[in-house]
Structure 1
Amino acid sequence: MSNLQNSTIQGFRPIIPKQPKILVLGSMPSVKSLEDEFYYAHSRNAFWPIIENLTGRSLKSISEKISALDDLGIFLWDVLQACERKGSLDSAIRNPEANDFEGIFTDYPEIQAVCFNGQAAEKLFRQHVLKHQSLPAGLVYRSLPSTSPANAKLKIEDKYLIWEENLRPFL
Protein backbone atom coordinates (compact mmCIF):
# COMPACT_ATOMS: atom_id res chain seq x y z
CA MET A 1 0.00 0.00 0.00
CA SER A 2 1.46 3.32 -1.02
CA ASN A 3 1.45 6.21 1.42
CA LEU A 4 1.46 8.66 -1.50
CA GLN A 5 -2.19 8.18 -2.44
CA ASN A 6 -5.42 7.60 -0.58
CA SER A 7 -5.88 3.91 0.02
CA THR A 8 -8.83 2.07 1.48
CA ILE A 9 -7.72 0.55 4.73
CA GLN A 10 -9.42 -1.89 7.06
CA GLY A 11 -9.17 -1.75 10.83
CA PHE A 12 -8.36 -4.61 13.16
CA ARG A 13 -10.65 -6.99 14.95
CA PRO A 14 -11.22 -5.93 18.55
CA ILE A 15 -9.28 -7.30 21.47
CA ILE A 16 -11.97 -8.47 23.87
CA PRO A 17 -11.19 -9.37 27.48
CA LYS A 18 -13.12 -12.05 29.34
CA GLN A 19 -14.77 -9.41 31.54
CA PRO A 20 -14.76 -6.08 29.68
CA LYS A 21 -15.29 -2.95 31.77
CA ILE A 22 -13.80 -0.21 29.60
CA LEU A 23 -13.95 0.25 25.85
CA VAL A 24 -10.86 2.12 24.65
CA LEU A 25 -11.25 3.48 21.13
CA GLY A 26 -8.71 4.85 18.72
CA SER A 27 -9.66 6.25 15.34
CA MET A 28 -7.92 3.94 12.84
CA PRO A 29 -4.58 2.06 12.96
CA SER A 30 -1.50 3.96 11.83
CA VAL A 31 0.59 2.90 8.85
CA LYS A 32 3.10 1.30 11.24
CA SER A 33 0.36 -0.58 13.09
CA LEU A 34 -1.10 -1.80 9.80
CA GLU A 35 2.36 -2.99 8.71
CA ASP A 36 2.88 -4.81 12.03
CA GLU A 37 -0.75 -6.00 12.12
CA PHE A 38 -1.29 -4.91 15.72
CA TYR A 39 -2.57 -1.94 17.67
CA TYR A 40 -0.26 0.96 18.58
CA ALA A 41 2.87 -0.51 17.01
CA HIS A 42 4.82 2.74 16.58
CA SER A 43 7.76 2.62 18.99
CA ARG A 44 7.01 6.14 20.28
CA ASN A 45 3.28 5.59 20.84
CA ALA A 46 2.58 5.85 24.57
CA PHE A 47 -0.33 3.37 24.69
CA TRP A 48 1.60 0.24 25.66
CA PRO A 49 3.87 2.07 28.13
CA ILE A 50 0.69 3.40 29.79
CA ILE A 51 -0.69 -0.16 30.03
CA GLU A 52 2.69 -1.30 31.41
CA ASN A 53 2.45 1.46 34.00
CA LEU A 54 -1.07 0.35 35.00
CA THR A 55 -0.11 -3.32 35.32
CA GLY A 56 3.44 -2.95 36.60
CA ARG A 57 4.54 -5.47 33.96
CA SER A 58 6.86 -5.26 30.99
CA LEU A 59 4.90 -6.02 27.82
CA LYS A 60 7.12 -7.13 24.96
CA SER A 61 5.07 -9.65 22.98
CA ILE A 62 1.61 -9.35 21.50
CA SER A 63 0.39 -12.15 23.77
CA GLU A 64 1.67 -10.27 26.85
CA LYS A 65 -0.15 -7.12 25.68
CA ILE A 66 -3.39 -9.01 25.09
CA SER A 67 -3.06 -10.67 28.50
CA ALA A 68 -2.56 -7.27 30.19
CA LEU A 69 -5.70 -5.90 28.54
CA ASP A 70 -7.58 -9.02 29.65
CA ASP A 71 -6.38 -8.56 33.24
CA LEU A 72 -7.49 -4.92 33.22
CA GLY A 73 -10.83 -5.57 31.52
CA ILE A 74 -9.96 -3.24 28.64
CA PHE A 75 -11.76 -3.88 25.36
CA LEU A 76 -9.58 -2.35 22.63
CA TRP A 77 -10.90 -1.30 19.25
CA ASP A 78 -11.20 1.59 16.83
CA VAL A 79 -14.15 3.77 15.94
CA LEU A 80 -13.74 2.99 12.26
CA GLN A 81 -13.82 -0.35 10.49
CA ALA A 82 -12.61 1.19 7.22
CA CYS A 83 -11.71 4.48 5.56
CA GLU A 84 -9.54 6.02 2.90
CA ARG A 85 -6.40 7.69 4.17
CA LYS A 86 -3.02 8.88 2.95
CA GLY A 87 -0.42 8.30 5.66
CA SER A 88 -1.33 8.01 9.35
CA LEU A 89 -2.86 11.35 10.27
CA ASP A 90 -6.48 11.34 11.41
CA SER A 91 -6.99 14.59 9.52
CA ALA A 92 -6.40 12.64 6.27
CA ILE A 93 -9.31 10.23 6.87
CA ARG A 94 -11.90 10.21 4.09
CA ASN A 95 -15.06 8.13 3.63
CA PRO A 96 -15.11 6.72 7.18
CA GLU A 97 -17.17 3.62 7.97
CA ALA A 98 -17.93 3.05 11.65
CA ASN A 99 -17.79 -0.25 13.46
CA ASP A 100 -20.98 -1.81 14.87
CA PHE A 101 -21.20 -0.60 18.44
CA GLU A 102 -24.85 -1.53 18.92
CA GLY A 103 -23.79 -5.16 18.59
CA ILE A 104 -20.86 -4.71 20.97
CA PHE A 105 -23.00 -3.20 23.72
CA THR A 106 -25.66 -5.88 23.21
CA ASP A 107 -23.03 -8.62 23.52
CA TYR A 108 -21.07 -6.93 26.33
CA PRO A 109 -23.53 -4.97 28.51
CA GLU A 110 -21.04 -4.92 31.38
CA ILE A 111 -18.96 -2.21 29.64
CA GLN A 112 -19.29 0.89 31.82
CA ALA A 113 -17.09 3.44 30.08
CA VAL A 114 -15.92 4.48 26.63
CA CYS A 115 -12.51 6.15 26.61
CA PHE A 116 -11.28 7.86 23.47
CA ASN A 117 -7.61 7.77 22.56
CA GLY A 118 -7.53 11.36 21.36
CA GLN A 119 -9.96 13.99 20.19
CA ALA A 120 -10.15 12.61 16.65
CA ALA A 121 -11.51 9.28 17.92
CA GLU A 122 -14.12 11.11 19.99
CA LYS A 123 -15.12 13.34 17.06
CA LEU A 124 -15.45 10.36 14.70
CA PHE A 125 -17.50 8.49 17.31
CA ARG A 126 -19.87 11.41 17.81
CA GLN A 127 -20.29 11.95 14.05
CA HIS A 128 -20.48 8.37 12.80
CA VAL A 129 -21.70 6.32 15.76
CA LEU A 130 -23.82 8.38 18.16
CA LYS A 131 -25.82 9.93 15.32
CA HIS A 132 -26.53 6.58 13.64
CA GLN A 133 -26.49 3.82 16.26
CA SER A 134 -28.53 3.28 19.44
CA LEU A 135 -26.27 2.86 22.43
CA PRO A 136 -27.19 2.18 26.04
CA ALA A 137 -27.92 5.05 28.40
CA GLY A 138 -25.62 5.55 31.35
CA LEU A 139 -22.31 5.00 29.63
CA VAL A 140 -19.47 7.20 30.84
CA TYR A 141 -17.52 8.89 28.05
CA ARG A 142 -13.95 10.11 28.60
CA SER A 143 -11.74 11.89 26.09
CA LEU A 144 -8.09 11.18 26.83
CA PRO A 145 -4.98 12.67 25.26
CA SER A 146 -3.84 10.85 22.16
CA THR A 147 -1.02 8.41 22.80
CA SER A 148 0.29 9.06 19.28
CA PRO A 149 3.79 10.49 18.92
CA ALA A 150 2.14 13.17 16.74
CA ASN A 151 0.58 14.52 19.96
CA ALA A 152 3.58 16.31 21.42
CA LYS A 153 1.53 18.77 23.50
CA LEU A 154 1.97 16.68 26.65
CA LYS A 155 4.97 14.95 28.14
CA ILE A 156 4.60 11.19 28.37
CA GLU A 157 4.53 11.37 32.18
CA ASP A 158 1.50 13.68 31.97
CA LYS A 159 -0.22 11.28 29.57
CA TYR A 160 0.38 8.45 32.07
CA LEU A 161 -1.23 10.45 34.87
CA ILE A 162 -4.28 11.51 32.86
CA TRP A 163 -4.89 8.02 31.48
CA GLU A 164 -4.47 6.37 34.87
CA GLU A 165 -6.74 8.91 36.57
CA ASN A 166 -9.47 8.22 34.01
CA LEU A 167 -9.14 4.43 33.74
CA ARG A 168 -8.47 3.52 37.38
CA PRO A 169 -12.09 4.04 38.65
CA PHE A 170 -13.30 1.32 36.26
CA LEU A 171 -10.53 -1.22 36.77
Structure 2
Amino acid sequence: MERIIGFEPIVHGDDTILILGSMPSEESLKQNMYYANKTNRFWKILTSLYQRPSNTLEEKFALLEYAHIALWDICHSCVRQTSADAKIRDVMANDIDSLLQKNPSIQRIICNGKTSYHNLCHFFPQLIEKTIVCPSTSAANAKFSLEDLIYEYERVLKNE
Protein backbone atom coordinates (compact mmCIF):
# COMPACT_ATOMS: atom_id res chain seq x y z
CA MET A 1 0.00 0.00 0.00
CA GLU A 2 1.13 3.48 -0.82
CA ARG A 3 1.71 6.18 1.81
CA ILE A 4 -0.91 8.94 1.67
CA ILE A 5 0.08 12.54 2.38
CA GLY A 6 -2.49 15.03 3.67
CA PHE A 7 -2.96 18.76 3.17
CA GLU A 8 -1.30 21.86 4.51
CA PRO A 9 -3.21 23.68 7.26
CA ILE A 10 -5.69 26.43 6.55
CA VAL A 11 -4.88 29.30 8.91
CA HIS A 12 -5.75 32.97 8.92
CA GLY A 13 -3.55 34.55 11.60
CA ASP A 14 -6.37 35.37 14.04
CA ASP A 15 -8.00 31.98 14.44
CA THR A 16 -9.14 31.03 17.92
CA ILE A 17 -10.08 27.42 17.17
CA LEU A 18 -8.24 24.61 15.42
CA ILE A 19 -10.37 21.77 14.09
CA LEU A 20 -8.35 18.61 13.56
CA GLY A 21 -9.53 15.78 11.38
CA SER A 22 -7.71 12.49 10.98
CA MET A 23 -6.75 12.23 7.30
CA PRO A 24 -8.51 13.48 4.15
CA SER A 25 -10.76 10.92 2.48
CA GLU A 26 -9.96 9.59 -0.98
CA GLU A 27 -12.53 12.00 -2.42
CA SER A 28 -11.06 14.96 -0.52
CA LEU A 29 -7.57 14.09 -1.76
CA LYS A 30 -8.91 13.81 -5.31
CA GLN A 31 -10.62 17.22 -5.06
CA ASN A 32 -7.74 18.76 -3.08
CA MET A 33 -10.01 20.11 -0.33
CA TYR A 34 -10.90 19.19 3.22
CA TYR A 35 -14.22 17.37 3.64
CA ALA A 36 -14.94 17.31 -0.09
CA ASN A 37 -17.01 14.14 0.06
CA LYS A 38 -20.62 15.24 -0.43
CA THR A 39 -21.79 12.82 2.26
CA ASN A 40 -19.55 14.37 4.92
CA ARG A 41 -21.56 16.81 6.99
CA PHE A 42 -18.71 19.15 8.05
CA TRP A 43 -19.57 22.06 5.75
CA LYS A 44 -23.32 21.70 6.39
CA ILE A 45 -22.67 22.07 10.12
CA LEU A 46 -20.54 25.20 9.74
CA THR A 47 -22.99 26.70 7.25
CA SER A 48 -25.82 26.17 9.71
CA LEU A 49 -23.91 27.57 12.69
CA TYR A 50 -22.48 30.65 11.00
CA GLN A 51 -25.18 31.30 8.37
CA ARG A 52 -22.58 31.53 5.61
CA PRO A 53 -22.58 29.63 2.30
CA SER A 54 -20.03 26.89 1.65
CA ASN A 55 -20.79 25.78 -1.91
CA THR A 56 -17.53 26.87 -3.54
CA LEU A 57 -13.93 26.63 -2.45
CA GLU A 58 -13.84 30.40 -1.97
CA GLU A 59 -16.96 30.31 0.21
CA LYS A 60 -15.47 27.54 2.35
CA PHE A 61 -12.29 29.53 2.93
CA ALA A 62 -14.34 32.65 3.71
CA LEU A 63 -16.53 30.72 6.16
CA LEU A 64 -13.50 29.44 8.06
CA GLU A 65 -11.99 32.92 8.16
CA TYR A 66 -15.27 34.46 9.35
CA ALA A 67 -15.55 31.88 12.14
CA HIS A 68 -11.85 32.22 13.12
CA ILE A 69 -11.35 28.50 12.55
CA ALA A 70 -8.09 26.93 11.43
CA LEU A 71 -8.32 23.51 9.82
CA TRP A 72 -5.81 20.67 9.65
CA ASP A 73 -5.46 16.93 10.19
CA ILE A 74 -3.56 15.09 12.87
CA CYS A 75 -1.97 12.81 10.25
CA HIS A 76 0.68 14.25 7.99
CA SER A 77 0.85 10.89 6.27
CA CYS A 78 -0.29 7.33 6.80
CA VAL A 79 -1.01 4.06 5.10
CA ARG A 80 -4.72 3.42 4.64
CA GLN A 81 -7.03 1.13 2.70
CA THR A 82 -10.14 2.99 1.54
CA SER A 83 -11.19 6.18 3.35
CA ALA A 84 -12.12 4.55 6.64
CA ASP A 85 -10.41 5.95 9.73
CA ALA A 86 -10.33 2.41 11.14
CA LYS A 87 -7.98 1.48 8.28
CA ILE A 88 -5.37 4.17 9.12
CA ARG A 89 -1.95 2.67 9.92
CA ASP A 90 1.66 3.82 10.32
CA VAL A 91 0.80 7.45 11.18
CA MET A 92 3.30 10.27 10.90
CA ALA A 93 1.78 13.25 12.73
CA ASN A 94 1.64 16.84 11.58
CA ASP A 95 3.61 19.33 13.68
CA ILE A 96 0.67 20.63 15.69
CA ASP A 97 2.97 22.20 18.31
CA SER A 98 4.67 24.34 15.68
CA LEU A 99 1.33 25.45 14.24
CA LEU A 100 0.14 26.52 17.69
CA GLN A 101 3.39 28.39 18.40
CA LYS A 102 3.05 30.31 15.12
CA ASN A 103 -0.65 31.00 15.82
CA PRO A 104 -0.92 31.89 19.52
CA SER A 105 -4.49 33.15 19.11
CA ILE A 106 -5.64 29.50 18.85
CA GLN A 107 -6.96 28.65 22.29
CA ARG A 108 -8.99 25.50 21.65
CA ILE A 109 -8.58 22.35 19.61
CA ILE A 110 -11.60 20.41 18.44
CA CYS A 111 -11.02 16.89 17.18
CA ASN A 112 -13.44 15.81 14.47
CA GLY A 113 -13.95 12.25 15.64
CA LYS A 114 -12.28 9.72 17.90
CA THR A 115 -9.48 8.77 15.51
CA SER A 116 -8.23 12.34 15.45
CA TYR A 117 -8.48 12.54 19.24
CA HIS A 118 -6.73 9.21 19.90
CA ASN A 119 -3.85 10.22 17.65
CA LEU A 120 -3.62 13.64 19.29
CA CYS A 121 -3.46 11.95 22.71
CA HIS A 122 -0.72 9.63 21.46
CA PHE A 123 1.46 12.24 19.72
CA PHE A 124 0.62 15.39 21.71
CA PRO A 125 -0.48 14.47 25.25
CA GLN A 126 0.42 17.98 26.38
CA LEU A 127 -2.50 19.32 24.30
CA ILE A 128 -5.23 17.16 25.86
CA GLU A 129 -6.30 19.89 28.32
CA LYS A 130 -7.15 22.35 25.54
CA THR A 131 -8.81 19.71 23.34
CA ILE A 132 -12.45 18.75 22.96
CA VAL A 133 -13.53 15.72 20.95
CA CYS A 134 -16.69 16.00 18.84
CA PRO A 135 -18.44 13.24 16.92
CA SER A 136 -17.10 12.57 13.45
CA THR A 137 -18.90 14.44 10.69
CA SER A 138 -18.43 11.48 8.36
CA ALA A 139 -21.53 9.79 6.98
CA ALA A 140 -20.04 6.56 8.33
CA ASN A 141 -20.95 7.93 11.76
CA ALA A 142 -24.64 7.18 11.24
CA LYS A 143 -25.26 7.22 14.99
CA PHE A 144 -25.47 11.03 14.77
CA SER A 145 -27.99 12.84 12.60
CA LEU A 146 -27.12 16.18 11.04
CA GLU A 147 -29.21 17.88 13.75
CA ASP A 148 -27.32 16.00 16.48
CA LEU A 149 -23.99 17.05 14.98
CA ILE A 150 -25.07 20.69 14.69
CA TYR A 151 -26.02 20.61 18.37
CA GLU A 152 -22.71 19.01 19.43
CA TYR A 153 -20.56 21.38 17.37
CA GLU A 154 -22.55 24.43 18.44
CA ARG A 155 -21.88 23.59 22.09
CA VAL A 156 -18.12 23.79 21.55
CA LEU A 157 -17.81 26.32 18.72
CA LYS A 158 -20.18 28.90 20.15
CA ASN A 159 -19.04 28.43 23.77
CA GLU A 160 -16.43 31.16 23.62
- Could you say whether these structures have the same fold, taking a TM-score greater than 0.5 normalized by the shorter chain as the test? yes
**Which residue identity is paired with 1:163?**
Y
Q: Distance in 2 between matches of 1:23 and 1:94?
A: 23
1:5-64 deviation digits (Å, cap 9, x = unpaired): x32100101110231100100000001101111000111111000110122122111111
Which 5+ residue runs of structure 1 have no aligned equivalent? 1-5
Q: How big is the shift at 1:169?
A: 1.8
- Which of 156, 163, 167 aligns to 2:157? It is 167
Contact 2:53 2:63 in 1 (8 A): no
Q: 1:52 aligns with which of 47, 50, 55?
A: 47
1:75 aligns with 2:60: no
Structure 1-normalised TM-score? 0.89
Counterparts of 1:86 and 1:129, CA distance in 2: 25
Larger-gyration structure (1/2): 1
Structure 2 equivalent of residue 151 of structure 1: 141
Is 1:15 the counterpart of 2:10? The answer is yes
Which among 88, 101, 107 is matched to residue 102 of structure 2?
107
Distance in 2 separating the partners of 1:66 and 1:103? 22
Root mean square deviation, CA, Å = 1.4
Q: Output the CA distance in 1 between the equivalents of 2:17 and 2:157.
A: 8
1:3 alignment counterpart: none
1:109 positional shift: 1.2
Shift of 1:66: 0.5
Distance 1:17 1:148 in 2: 25
Letter in 1 for 2:37: H
Show CA shifts across 1:95-136 (max 9, x none).
100011121121111111000000110001111232xxx65x
CA distance in 1, matches of 2:49, 2:73: 21
Aligned to 2:37: 42
How many Å separate the matches in 2 of 1:140 and 1:129? 11
- Counterpart amino acid of residue 106 in structure 1: Q
Q: Which runs of 5+ in 2 are unaligned?
A: none
Contact 1:17-1:71 within 8 A present in 2 as well: no
User: For 2:140, what is the secondary structure of its paired residue?
Assistant: coil
